[in-house]
Amino acid sequence: MRGVREKAKRVSADPRRRAARRPADEAASPRAVEAALPAPFDAWFARRGWSPRAHQLALLAKAEERRSTLLVAPTGAGKTLAGFLPTLVALEKQPRRRSNDAGSGLHTLYISPLKALAEDIARNLVAPITEMGLRVSIETRSGDTSVARRARQRARPPHILLTTPEQIALMLASPDASYVFGSLDTIILDELHALAPSKRGDLLSLGLARLHTLSPGLMTIGLSATVARPSELLSYLMPQTQPDDRRTMADLVVARGGAAPVIEILEIEEPVPWGGHSARYAMHEIYRAIAAHRTTLVFVNTRMQAELVFQELWKLNEASLPIALHHGSLDKTRRQKVEQAMTEGRLRAVVATSTLDLGIDWGDVDLVVNVGAPKGASRLTQRIGRANHRLDDPSTALLVPANRFEVLECRAALDAAKAGEQDTTISRSGALDVLAQHVMGTACNGPFDPDALYREVRAATPYAGLTRNRFDRVVDFVSTGGYALKAYERFARLRPTEDGKLRLSHPSLARQYRMNAGTIVEAPMIKVRLVGRRRSRKPGAPRPLVGGRVLGEVEEYFVEQLSPGMTFVFAGEVLRFEGMEETEAYVTRAPGADAMIPSYAGGKFPLSTHLARRVRAMLADPKQWSGLPTPVAEWLTLQQRVSQLPGVDDVLIETFPRRGRHFMLIYPFEGRLAHQTLGMLLTRRLERAGARPLGFVANDYGLAVWALGDLGQHIADGTLDLADLFAQDMLGDDLESWLAESALMRRTFRTVAVIAGLIERRHPGLEKSGRQITFSTDLIYNVLRRHDPGHILLEAAWEDAATGLLDIVRLGQFLARIRGRIRHQPLVSVSPLSVPILLEIGIEPVGGVTREDILRDAAAELIADATRAGNGEAT
């Protein structure tokens, strides 16, 4: 670290300090519960020269009292062992005769978000179990588990089964669920902070509610990293049975934090660039930091950044340090190789995206570098937690802002970490498509009583507020499609029994369910295969392509924009796109070429609301600038002189002409997603106002709209009223009509339709070969919008989009916040603050173009061709 530390300004913070004061931890005095640890365990700890940690014993004490508990602990605190200790102790204490009888039933279910994590944990558990001489059987179960083994697991369950949420749903849907789970005693939910706030978390919550019914008295143990509001997870662990809004909570154990992490913002003589995301300017420093440490994790926010940073580091890598790349698009075997090398300590650095935010513990990381802004205080804490899993050494982290706005954001994140703040998350209401899948799964298990199921579903925290009306509509959807036109009564999938229950109308529906269960609907992915050109026998003849290995996968829409000959960066090298061969993209190496395709959007996070507020406050208060690098402080001073600074609770709007276009810059600081939605809606409104908008770009901090009409003049003469332009009603009709054309909404609907079981999943390998008539969900979407606009799946898709990709909630809060607080600053030229946003033009795809325009332009191409042909030129 020395190389960096000399020039870097050092700021330390301890995000865990506040957590460490929690009373639950004080209560967990090791002495009070020492008796709970049976002899083989004590002996085992002693042989290893270890002693049980306070939170491990505290959790054990809770388990003795049969209290469901959430353990919040940083990585490396022995969280997993803590989770399993109660189970191992309980099984050890059981009479021998019963515990070694494999037919005694499933005792503990361990659920993890990652299949690989479950397998890793299983391997790690075998050692202590063998060493302690415990007679405990452990198995894992996933989609890859053989049919025979799965059948055996149902007939003779192991004591401990490690699996994923999807497998739980599938097991619950089988007729023998009550046999398998009837004796269940404990459920351990790992990485709960990552799992709970998602559709997978919704599905799991419904499964938990079911398990609580099947096995009353069940104890749940949640394992989580530091979270903003543990109350969300505390209630997630418990069945909600109170008649009012009050939530039943599990107990909380917080592990004592280790040494305070050392966080620094990289500050070097080279000025931070105005825009861009590559942090190229800082590569020498990052490389020097890697060289000065044992093992470094370099976190970035997008796959594109990962590729770029990786390339840049290798350009500098004169010492040939083993530096690897890890992101979600890379081929699985490649990723596993990297993980393997990491575990074995053979790597000096890994450049990674959020794929490594959670998961398998790697002991030896002593530095975390975060390139780009951390986007949220919690994410930063989580990433820093990846360093130094030995709790007592301080984690060391280096923040590397890629542009000037990110300097502000890094500073805000650091201040937040210093204050021990976490981003607050909006509590989640359970997704309706997931509920539909669960209702179908329940019917596959056997006939169900709708009243009882409604009660059970409401016991799941995300569905605690579900109204009976909505529940009934979901059941109606599962049964007959839930259409306003009641046309499918005779094709109903659920039929009433004599005793008022609902049963599956045909056993084949259970097979259909099994094929389509789960909530992960992947965007269609294209394999990227590296091919070579065989040497041609005849000179001048085309050289045939020869297939090679698969480098990974990219989203279909990324490949769609490529034409043969274009170059892009992937899997750490510059590749030339050669063409599509069936479902694969063929590429060749293009060393030395500059990549033509600058970006693809996979895995971007919007700035958290919490950090955004801090950034605004910092901007508005020149007194705080003294802590900023000089060029950044100068930049803000210049902005103050030329224009104005955005305030904490208002919005600054600048207008200026530039190269024959008229620009409007808006600085809401509400994150990229909300800005994109705002951009879409603003261009529609400006179009209507006759301002002739041409397009817009958005980043996390603001957006730029440009037009042919003189926007500044329109505002000045009153033909364009800013209060009207930013009125909250834009979230009504304008949003509605934009969504009709929005590709994003169509993608969202497709996901919802698959999860809810309206249409079947595409199963790789099972697709018909030869010609295919593609039947897209767009057709269904169009028909529903027109003929059944109140349909429950449209409602579900809308809710998804509003909270997810469109971030309408946040945009709505913004519009409400700025009412009567819009400050307009007309300018003659570009403002300093606008530069980073304007630099996004050409990097980001420009919004605001409709499909019809594209077809019209494409047709115009043909006319141009025809005209040239008419003039005697070749087409």
Quick check: 766 binds another protein (CB under 8 A)? no
Binding to another protein, residues 453-482 (CB under 8 A): 480-481
Please give the backbone phi and psi of residue 138, each rounded to the nearest 5 degrees, phi first.
-130, 135
Candidate ranges 110-118, 132-140, 666-674, 756-764; the one touching another protein (CB under 8 A):
756-764
Candidate ranges 36-44, 355-363, 400-408, 508-516; the one touching another protein (CB under 8 A):
508-516
Q: Is 431 exposed, middle or buried (0-12, 13-18, 19+ CB in 10 A)?
A: buried
Q: Which is nearer to another protein, 182 or 842 (CB)?
A: 842
Quick check: 871 binds another protein (CB under 8 A)? no
Q: Which is nearer to another protein, 345 or 564 (CB)?
A: 564
Q: Which is nearer to another protein, 319 or 858 (CB)?
A: 858
Report, in Å, the least distance between residue 672 CB and another protein. 19
Q: Which is nearer to another protein, 416 or 784 (CB)?
A: 784
Binding to another protein, residues 574-593 (CB under 8 A): 580
The residues near 453 (Cβ < 8 Å, ≥ 6 apart) are 439, 442
What is the distance between the alpha carbons of residues 815 and 652, in angstroms, rounded to a whole number? 13
Q: Which is nearer to another protein, 344 or 853 (CB)?
A: 853
Please give the backbone phi and psi of residue 81, each rounded to the nearest 5 degrees, phi first.
-60, -40
Q: Which is nearer to another protein, 729 or 857 (CB)?
A: 857
Candidate ranges 22-30, 462-470, 654-662, 782-790; the one touching another protein (CB under 8 A):
782-790
Helix (H) or strand (E) holding 332: helix 332-343
Report, in Å, the least distance between residue 777 CB and another protein. 10
Q: Which tokens hold the place of 617?
A: 């406050």
Q: 730 near 815, Cβ under 8 Å?
A: yes
Report, in Å, the least distance between residue 854 CB and another protein. 5
Sign of the CA dihedral running 242, 245, 246, 250: positive
Q: Would you call 110 helix, strand, or coil by DSSP?
A: strand
Quick check: 509 binds another protein (CB under 8 A)? yes
Q: 822 near 726, Cβ under 8 Å?
A: yes
Q: The sheet that has 525-530: what strands, in order across it?
A: 550-555, 525-530, 584-589, 573-581, 567-570
Buried b (16+ CB within 10 A) or exposed e, 621-636: eeebbeebbeebbebb
Quick check: 780 binds another protein (CB under 8 A)? yes
Q: Which is nearer to another protein, 50 or 488 (CB)?
A: 488
Q: Which is nearer to another protein, 520 or 859 (CB)?
A: 859
Report, in Å, the least distance between residue 493 CB and another protein. 6
Q: Of 330, 380, 758, 815, which lies in the binding site for another protein, with binding defined by CB under 8 A? A: 758
Q: Which is nearer to another protein, 173 or 615 (CB)?
A: 173
Candidate ranges 246-254, 308-316, 661-669, 865-873; the one touching another protein (CB under 8 A):
865-873
Report, in Å, the least distance between residue 655 CB and another protein. 28
Q: Which is nearer to another protein, 86 or 848 (CB)?
A: 848
456: Cα within 13 Å, side-chain hemisphere: 21
Q: Of 630, 728, 776, 829, which lies in the binding site for another protein, with binding defined by CB under 8 A? A: 776
Q: Of 32, 46, 426, 487, which lies in the binding site for another protein, with binding defined by CB under 8 A? A: 487
Report, in Å, the least distance between residue 706 CB and another protein. 17
The residues near 272 (Cβ < 8 Å, ≥ 6 apart) are 281, 401, 402, 403, 404, 406, 407, 629, 631, 632
Please give the backbone phi and psi of residue 11, each rounded to the nearest 5 degrees, phi first.
-135, 130
Quick check: 772 binds another protein (CB under 8 A)? yes
The residues near 553 (Cβ < 8 Å, ≥ 6 apart) are 329, 331, 525, 526, 527, 528
Q: Of 773, 816, 820, 872, which lies in the binding site for another protein, with binding defined by CB under 8 A? A: 773
Q: How many residues does the chain have?
A: 875
Report, in Å, the least distance between residue 684 CB and another protein. 16
Q: Which is nearer to another protein, 472 or 560 (CB)?
A: 560
Q: Of 493, 610, 662, 750, which lies in the binding site for another protein, with binding defined by CB under 8 A? A: 493
Q: Which is nearer to another protein, 496 or 622 (CB)?
A: 496
Q: Which is nearer to another protein, 500 or 764 (CB)?
A: 764
What is the distance between the alpha carbons of residues 120 and 80, in angstroms, rounded to a whole number? 11
Q: Of 546, 638, 716, 855, which lies in the binding site for another protein, with binding defined by CB under 8 A? A: 855
Candidate ranges 78-86, 420-428, 447-455, 768-776; the one touching another protein (CB under 8 A):
768-776
Quick check: 483 binds another protein (CB under 8 A)? yes
What is the distance between the alpha carbons of residues 726 and 824, in angstroms, rounded to a whole number? 12
Q: How far apart are the first and last CA of the chain?
A: 61
Please give the backbone phi and psi of residue 853, each rounded to the nearest 5 degrees, phi first.
-60, -40
Q: Of 149, 787, 817, 821, which lies in the binding site for another protein, with binding defined by CB under 8 A? A: 787
Task: Please report where in the chains the tokens 């190496």 appear, as a residue.
Answer: 589
Q: Which is nearer to another protein, 201 or 518 (CB)?
A: 518
What is the distance between the alpha carbons of residues 427 and 463, in angstroms, rounded to a whole number? 11
Quick check: 856 binds another protein (CB under 8 A)? yes
Binding to another protein, residues 72-111 (CB under 8 A): none
Binding to another protein, residues 537-576 (CB under 8 A): 557, 560-561, 563
Quick check: 875 binds another protein (CB under 8 A)? yes
Q: Which tokens hold the place of 298?
A: 């370099």
Q: In DSSP terms, which residues pair with 222 in a beta bridge?
A: 70, 189
Candidate ranges 219-227, 586-594, 716-724, 752-760; the one touching another protein (CB under 8 A):
752-760
Q: Which is nearer to another protein, 480 or 813 (CB)?
A: 480
Report, in Å, the least distance between residue 848 CB and another protein. 12
Report, in Å, the least distance between residue 870 CB and another protein. 8
Residue type at 190 in one-letter notation: D
Quick check: 601 binds another protein (CB under 8 A)? no
Nearest alpha carbon to residue 225 among 254, 250, 251, 198: 254
Quick check: 791 binds another protein (CB under 8 A)? yes
Binding to another protein, residues 832-851 (CB under 8 A): 845, 849, 851
What is the distance between the alpha carbons of residues 792 and 296, in angstroms, rounded to a whole number? 48
Could you give the C-alpha distances from 158 to 108, 181, 521, in angstroms and in order? 9, 11, 31
Q: Which is nearer to another protein, 779 or 828 (CB)?
A: 779
Q: Which is nearer to another protein, 598 or 627 (CB)?
A: 598
Quick check: 786 binds another protein (CB under 8 A)? yes
What is the distance between the alpha carbons of residues 816 and 814, in angstroms, rounded to a whole number? 5
Buried b (16+ CB within 10 A) or exposed e, 640-658: eebbbbbbeebbbbbbbbe
Quick check: 867 binds another protein (CB under 8 A)? yes
- Contacts with another protein: how many residues (CB under 8 A)? 53
Quick check: 155 binds another protein (CB under 8 A)? no
Nearest alpha carbon to residue 385 among 198, 612, 224, 603: 224
Q: Which is nearer to another protein, 337 or 746 (CB)?
A: 746
What secondary structure does DSSP assign to 683-725, as a single string? HHHHHHTT--EEEEEE-SS-EEEEESS-HHHHHHTTSS-HHHH
Nearest alpha carbon to residue 836 among 411, 409, 412, 406: 406
Quick check: 771 binds another protein (CB under 8 A)? yes
What is the distance between the alpha carbons of residues 555 and 327, in angstroms, rounded to a whole number? 14
Q: Which residues bind another protein (CB under 8 A)?
A: 480-481, 483, 485, 487-488, 491, 493, 506, 508-509, 512, 557, 560-561, 563, 580, 758-760, 771-776, 779-780, 783-784, 786-788, 791, 845, 849, 851-852, 854-863, 865-867, 869, 875
